[in-house]
Amino acid sequence: MPRIRRQITAMFHDARAGEMDALDCYRLASVLMMAAKLIETGEIEERLAEIERRLADRPRIAA
């Protein structure tokens, strides 16, 4: 994710400096944001699976 953040920041600066077309910057940033969301979702799924495994391994307390 830090790489994606750096890339978006660099593109923003390039667009502001007139070195990149604003529409191209927008399109590329949109793709990078989708990639970031996929990475984030995958990380959350992994963490949730680990939590579920740990809970399944805990001894049950009788109510």
pTM of the model: 0.71
pLDDT in tens, 16-58: 999 999 999 999 999 999 999 999 999 999 999 999 999 999 8
The answer for residues whose C-beta is within 8 angstroms of residue 1's C-beta and 6 or more apart is 36, 39, 40
CA-based Rg of the chain, rounded to a whole angstrom? 20
Fill in the amino acid letter for 36: A
The token pair that represents 10 in the structure block: 């660099």
- Closest among 50, 6, 32 to 14, alpha carbons compared: 6
CB atoms within 10 A of CB 18: 8
* 60 pLDDT higher than 90: no
